[in-house]
Structure 1
Amino acid sequence: MTTTTVREATVGLLRDTGMTTVFGNPGSTELRMFRDWPDDFEYVLGLQEAAAVGMAAGHALGTGRAAFVSLHSAGGVGNALGAVFNAYRDRVPLVIVAGQQARSLIQLRPFLGVDEPTRFPRPYVKLSRQPERAADVPAVLAEAHRVAMTHPRGPVFVSVPEDDWDAEAEPVQHRAVRADFTASPEALAALAARLDACARPALVVGPGVDDESALPQVLALAERVRAGVWISPLSGRSGFPESHPLFQGFLPPVAGQLASRLAPYDVVVALGTPVFTYHVPDDAPPLAPGTELFHLDPDPAQAAWLPTGTSLVTTLRPALTQLAAVVRESGREPPPPRVRPEPVTAADRLTPELVLDELHRRLPRDRMLVEEAPSHRDVLHARVPVDRSGGFLTTGSGALGWGLPLAVGRALADRRRVVCVLGDGSAMYSVQALWTAVRHRAPVTFVVLDNGGYGAVRALGRRIDIDPVPGTDIGGIDFAGLAASFGCPADRAERPDDLGKALDRAVSGLGDEDGPHLLHLKVAGTDGTLYEPWAR
């Protein structure tokens, strides 16, 4: 093999794996990596490291490939950790490289040196390494990429001392890993037998369905056994067409409410989800007596901690294909379709219901929707149905500041317009990503629902008799003016009479080539009904 440098070998690996869009915020310990930067690579600058990770995550979800992220030493990794946590919980494949001081200085505790760098991002990465030798860097990065892309996918971390990039190393040949695996025929046959014999089956669809592009297989199974279909609590993805007659709604992250929704079913099959994602304490059992759970997911750790049911450790597409082939087509009556709320016909102020009804009227069916408005998530799910695989992204993990950069990265993946619905509190965690959206002309429409504070926290406070909750008022931010300061065109509306024209400009009137746009809407506060869904 021809001897080359670590940097040259790494560039070849990134090119072979399709990671030629690099997201980051550079510093002194990364500079040598950028020597002779190749013309076919694009560097996407985030003005804060969490924004860079969020944009990389959106790009990875849009392309289906791992994204490459460059962070600066300990401070950059620390700034990014909330977004790394989201990427880990939401199974987003990222290859994260952080700069470390020169090997000759590490023992001297230098400025910008990182003590125990591999421990810093754990446990929220699948792999964490600092190569023992400079020559090992390309091989470790190749291994990290394979780990990131193996189900369950997720972020990986490699710390690279800054003088390693100029050292000699051997080129690394990219190789594929075929990572689909399935449960045994006996396990799938036993599940098929239970579905054949049961009276009322249900499927619970989690983010793993979207992650594995398994919607056709889920649709085939649901229609064959006539199962009611629910979305798992606080799912970060879409996974089933919400206008389908078998779709029943969204499970709440409260034990008693979740068990109540699933109590009518005698067999529940959970697909790519932990099912029991709770947000507030509740002494209720996970499932009502008489409800039997089967759980299909590629993560053995998740299978180990689930409190009830039978887990099949498997990727979804091959398992569901085999299951649909052996289960009998059912003649049972399907569950009644859920009842949708009536559209708002008149209002004297902007409410979330009115805004989201009007947004739905203007939203093309193939438009990608990103959401980070926790106060209004139930209303959005009720009034803006998502009907295509990959059509919805949010934070399934709860660390705010994910949605805005996620939307930017997702738009850069295929240059198709994304609509991003944000709360005012969420937007301020990562507003720096507006600058990147402008510089790269990312086709994103940001709709900021401004209720003057952290409405979800207020609502949860009222659940446990804490009212008022200190530190939840954040009014007085001019989001349209802030966006304009970054160079992003913006509008605002405060009255129902202004809403239609503003949405027409921001949603219907913009094409994929028109770059970003922000719409600032002053809306009424929430009524405190968080996790009390509108339909049962």
Structure 2
Amino acid sequence: MDGMGTGRVTVREAVFEMLRGLGIDTVFGNPGSTELPFLDRWPRDIRYVLGLQEASVVGMADGYARATGQCAFVNLHSAAGVGHALGNLFTAYRNGAPMVITAGQQTRSLLPNLPFLGASEAASFPRPYVKFSIEPARAEDVPAAIAQAHRIAMQRPYGPTFVSIPADDWAAACQPVVPRAWFPDTAPDPAALAEAARAIMAARRPVLVVGPDVDAEGCGPELVMLAERIGAPVWTSPFSSRLSFPEDHPLFAGHLHAAPQQVSDTLIGHDLVLVIGAPVFTFHVAGECGLFRSGTPIFQMTTDLEAASSAPAGTAVLGALRLGIPALAALLPESGRSLPAPRPRPAPPAPSSPPSAAYALHRLHAAMPEGAVLVEEAPSHRPAMQQQMPIREWGGFFTMASGGLGYGLPAAVGVALGRPGRRVVCLIGDGSFMYSPQALWTAVQEKLPLAVIVMNNAGYGAMRSFSRVLQVRDAPGIDLPGIDFVAMARGMGCPARAVATPGELDAALAEAMAAEGPFLVEVAVDAAIATLYDEKK
């Protein structure tokens, strides 16, 4: 139970005071009439970040939460507004982004009669992609419900929670809620760590597969120390949504694809697989993974009970990575294996008109200032990005874990809000940009140092790639001709430039990186792209 004060206040007053106690000073929202009682006489010490559509609002909150490691607070409109947000809510759930989402509801007296804007079974609407969902039975229970939602959102694995609030609840009297101290992380079982350590010491050719939870828990340096102690190559897990291992480190081996055969072919020559902070494994194309039938020992360190229980093979070691990784390292002697030479970088791509994606990304990498954060949603160009833009800094890369488009631009806005003073670069495809373009307006209003690089190949490049993989011909709905991204950006107050030749590219990128506020660069690139799941790699 939360500690209760003696004096009674309104629900609205209690919630604002609780937010202050939790250190929450920013609310992301897109309001409607059912939210007006919450917005009345908005306090000056809490920032309200307006998004022009609910999917953008949740994407911004997701980026902010992941960039700061803190719980984001979101205020959405009833029913249809929550429906608009569901795509990015699904992404937030897969990303492990902690947030409390509140949504307005019609007044309680009207609910029995199916009123306009009323949400039937409001708490069921966002399930199953929230960790907790409730419409409190009484108005006075709203502050305690939000406090509970916050604790659950911040319990690993992090994720979104939901509270539906009837409009007349905000003026009701209640007891204030005092936030509780909360230490949710638990350490792995020492016996499980000891078993993993014995298996690692017995292995002659171990390999590591590392996922986004390492960066999310802030234990990247400890992971590097563990990998160096074991002396094993490190692969990034399929579709990792954050930096998993410094990509210029000698032990970095590359990025696993989401194809069972490729994963199996890559790992089956090793005599132990240690998976840290990732599922075993995330796949996107059908096929057999012979590794699971090979008898190769697999150990999985994770905080995610669902990921552990769904793994088709291996031994799960459940617990916080920030506690488990150093504890495992302490059980291991130095391996004595010498570090390999760093992986050779590919030769710089040759310029062409229009530029290839690889060339454009090579020049983007050179243009980005030290300490810049990359937010990516250009899935068809991801193989080229991984070749040309090695990520080195923990907290320096974000993408979506769900595969749902419309996340990248609002997430970049949220990252920029959460990392003030840092240059944020949003690398996004033309198709992806069109899912949440209105997030650019918020970046302009907030004067964020955000460089938006639109890779325009005039279509859904990932669909072109999959058409080749699946041998599908003449599919409709793939080409996107005639979109003027520069005009769209300027219409929202964002300066922009279009480039179609290598000679224009460097100057435009330099201007974007130096701009005080957001700046968009539209790069016309060759429509030829790499196959996403090249079985030969």
Deviation at 1:345, TM superposition (A): 3.5
Deviation at 1:56, TM superposition (A): 0.8
In the alignment, the residues of structure 2 paired with residue 117 and residue 11 of structure 1 have an alpha-carbon distance, to the nearest angstrom, of 23
SS at match of 1:73: coil
How do residues 175-190 of structure 1 correspond to structure 2 at under 5 angstroms? Answer: 175-190=180-195
In the alignment, the residues of structure 2 paired with residue 32 and residue 169 of structure 1 have an alpha-carbon distance, to the nearest angstrom, of 16
Residue aligning to 1:447: 453
Aligned match for 2:379, one of 351, 365, 374: 374
8 Å contact from structure 2 (residues 268, 291) kept in 1: no
**Cα deviations across residues 8-49 of structure 1 (Å, max 9, x unaligned)?**
000011111122211111001111011221111111111100
Structure 2 letter corresponding to 1:442: L
Residue aligning to 1:434: 440
Residue aligning to 2:178: 173
Is 1:400 aligned to 2:405, yes or no? Answer: yes
In the alignment, the residues of structure 1 paired with residue 340 and residue 282 of structure 2 have an alpha-carbon distance, to the nearest angstrom, of 25
How do residues 190-339 of structure 1 correspond to structure 2 at under 5 angstroms? Answer: 190-287=195-292, 289-334=294-339, 337-339=342-344
8 Å contact from structure 1 (residues 266, 290) kept in 2: no
8 Å contact from structure 1 (residues 252, 258) kept in 2: yes
Deviation at 1:327, TM superposition (A): 0.8
Residue aligning to 2:37: 32
Is 1:476 aligned to 2:478, yes or no? Answer: no
Answer with 345-354 or 466-475: which moved more: 345-354
**What runs of 5+ residues in structure 2 fail to find an aligned partner?**
1-5
SS at match of 2:87: helix
In the alignment, the residues of structure 2 paired with residue 62 and residue 277 of structure 1 have an alpha-carbon distance, to the nearest angstrom, of 23
Is 1:146 aligned to 2:151, yes or no? Answer: yes
8 Å contact from structure 2 (residues 105, 165) kept in 1: yes
Structure 1 letter corresponding to 2:309: A
Structure 2 letter corresponding to 1:408: V
Deviation at 1:395, TM superposition (A): 0.9
Structure 2 letter corresponding to 1:462: R
In the alignment, the residues of structure 1 paired with residue 182 and residue 45 of structure 2 have an alpha-carbon distance, to the nearest angstrom, of 25
**Cα deviations across residues 487-512 of structure 1 (Å, max 9, x unaligned)?**
001011001111111112112x33xx
In the alignment, the residues of structure 2 paired with residue 230 and residue 288 of structure 1 have an alpha-carbon distance, to the nearest angstrom, of 21
8 Å contact from structure 1 (residues 69, 94) kept in 2: yes
Is 1:355 aligned to 2:357, yes or no? Answer: no
Structure 2 letter corresponding to 1:521: V
Q: Scaled by the length of structure 1, what TM-score is found?
A: 0.97
1:8–1:533 CA distance, 2 compared to 1 (3 A): farther
8 Å contact from structure 2 (residues 383, 530) kept in 1: no
In the alignment, the residues of structure 1 paired with residue 246 and residue 530 of structure 2 have an alpha-carbon distance, to the nearest angstrom, of 28
Residue aligning to 2:425: 419
Answer with 161-170 or 270-279: which moved more: 270-279
In the alignment, the residues of structure 2 paired with residue 284 and residue 188 of structure 1 have an alpha-carbon distance, to the nearest angstrom, of 26
Residue aligning to 1:71: 76
Deviation at 1:520, TM superposition (A): 0.4
Deviation at 1:290, TM superposition (A): 4.8
Deviation at 1:250, TM superposition (A): 0.6
In the alignment, the residues of structure 1 paired with residue 368 and residue 292 of structure 2 have an alpha-carbon distance, to the nearest angstrom, of 37
**What runs of 5+ residues in structure 1 fail to find an aligned partner?**
none
In the alignment, the residues of structure 2 paired with residue 50 and residue 19 of structure 1 have an alpha-carbon distance, to the nearest angstrom, of 21
Deviation at 1:288, TM superposition (A): 6.4
Deviation at 1:526, TM superposition (A): 3.1
Deviation at 1:335, TM superposition (A): 5.1
Residue aligning to 1:54: 59
**Cα deviations across residues 142-178 of structure 1 (Å, max 9, x unaligned)?**
0100000110000000000110000001111011211
Answer with 337-346 or 261-270: which moved more: 337-346
Answer with 351-360 or 280-289: which moved more: 280-289
In the alignment, the residues of structure 2 paired with residue 457 and residue 290 of structure 1 have an alpha-carbon distance, to the nearest angstrom, of 36
Residue aligning to 1:103: 108
**Cα deviations across residues 46-95 of structure 1 (Å, max 9, x unaligned)?**
11000000011111122211011101001010000000000001100010
Work out the number of aligned pairs and report it: 531
8 Å contact from structure 1 (residues 239, 390) kept in 2: no
SS at match of 1:410: helix
Answer with 34-43 or 158-167: which moved more: 34-43
Structure 1 letter corresponding to 2:460: Y
In the alignment, the residues of structure 2 paired with residue 301 and residue 529 of structure 1 have an alpha-carbon distance, to the nearest angstrom, of 31
SS at match of 2:109: helix
Aligned match for 1:114, one of 106, 113, 119: 119
Residue aligning to 2:521: 519
Q: Scaled by the length of structure 2, what TM-score is found?
A: 0.97
**Cα deviations across residues 360-389 of structure 1 (Å, max 9, x unaligned)?**
112223110000001101110111011111
